[in-house]
């Protein structure tokens, strides 16, 4: 049997540990592992090669993905998917492991429907926005990167009596911003999932300023697009000299955390066991309440990820929705 792995969409730390585990587990089961380079684009262009232990030696600590990734518009053309299928068939590959997010899963689900290629999707996105899974590969490392950045910014904020608006990634999901705000001691958090009540926050923070507060940390999710408004509010209403720091793609990189490395191993091992043990797979592995499970892709695609209620409840204090 031959099984290929590809990484699609945005990269994240944890992909390389997953790739290393993929090769090792395949050989342990007498399966020939293949790499698809450059994601879905690589399927179309036949950048598909057999993999060996030497390809993955020493990559476990590296961020990003050694087989690279892409965002492919061509894959949404039927003739390009047909070409991708012929490429896989020429190598004798009938099963795939796909590291990516919801866009990648939708693309592979269509591919499965048309050509019967089995696959298991592994949630791999710092946005952490895959329905049915409380955790996606890479999010723990991203949170640690953000925490380090906020700690550094706090040093400057307190030294100059400033307000800093720190904009995190996450697309339309506020998970990164919320967890970062809660764990870094931020005073304000703005995310799409919670109402932002500036009047309530103003009343609260002005009292704290009277009692000696002399700097402010505000964490804002990029999907809300309100960083400039929060800068003007903190400057004109609260009286702080204010700066915006957009963390950007620094959040995607870095050495994978121990947790992301461990989860990469678990995700891949269980996914390969599933592919080897049953047929008609077009599922994604998920992790919820401390347990692994498999959901069919239709269920994931037809539903929207919602941040855990306990986290949202804690975040209401930082958004001004409640005190």
| Catalytic member of 11, 109, 127, 260 | 127
Residue 112: partners with Cβ closer than 8 Å, 6 or more residues away: 118, 119, 282, 297
Phi and psi, residue 260, nearest 5° = -65, -35
Residue 246, CA atoms < 13 Å, CB-side half-sphere? 10
The span from the CA of 190 to the CA of 196, in Å, is 6
Instruction: Write down how long the chain is.
Output: 323
Q: 282-288 and 48-50 as β-strands: parallel, antiparallel, unpaired?
A: unpaired
Identify whether 38 is a catalytic site residue: no
Q: Is 313 left (phi over 0), alpha (psi -120 to 50) or beta?
A: alpha
Phi and psi, residue 189, nearest 5° = -135, 130
Active site residues: 127
């Amino acid at each position: 049997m031959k099984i290929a792995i590809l990484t699609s969409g945005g990269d994240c730390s944890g992909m390389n540990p997953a790739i290393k585990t993929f090769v090792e587990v395949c050989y342990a089961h007498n399966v020939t592992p293949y790499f698809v380079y450059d994601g879905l684009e690589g399927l179309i262009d036949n950048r598909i090669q057999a993999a060996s232990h030497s390809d993955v030696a020493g990559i476990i600590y590296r961020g990003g993905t050694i087989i690279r990734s892409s965002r492919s518009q061509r894959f949404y053309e039927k003739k390009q998917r047909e070409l991708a299928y012929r490429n896989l068939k020429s190598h004798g590959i009938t099963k795939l492991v796909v590291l990516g997010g919801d866009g990648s899963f939708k693309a592979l689900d269509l591919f499965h429907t048309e050509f019967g290629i089995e696959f298991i999707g592994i949630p791999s996105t710092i946005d952490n926005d895959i329905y049915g899974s409380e955790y996606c590969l890479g999010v723990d490392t991203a949170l640690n990167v953000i925490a380090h950045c906020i700690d550094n910014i706090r040093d400057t904020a307190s030294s100059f009596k400033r307000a800093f608006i720190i904009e995190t990634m996450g697309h339309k999901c506020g998970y990164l911003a919320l967890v970062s705000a809660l764990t870094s001691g931020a005073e304000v958090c703005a995310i799409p999932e919670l109402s932002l009540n500036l009047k309530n926050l103003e009343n609260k923070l002005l009292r704290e300023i009277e009692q000696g507060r002399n700097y402010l940390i505000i964490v804002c999710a990029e999907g809300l697009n309100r960083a400039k408004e929060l800068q003007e509010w903190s400057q004109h209403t609260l009286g702080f000299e204010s700066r915006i720091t957009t963390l950007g793609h620094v959040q995607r990189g870095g050495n994978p955390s121990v947790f992301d490395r461990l989860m990469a191993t678990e995700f891949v091992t269980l996914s390969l066991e599933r592919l080897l043990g049953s047929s008609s797979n077009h599922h994604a592995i998920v992790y919820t309440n401390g347990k692994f499970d498999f959901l069919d892709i239709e269920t994931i695609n037809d539903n929207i990820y919602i941040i855990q209620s306990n986290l949202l409840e804690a975040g209401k204090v930082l958004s001004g929705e409640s005190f």
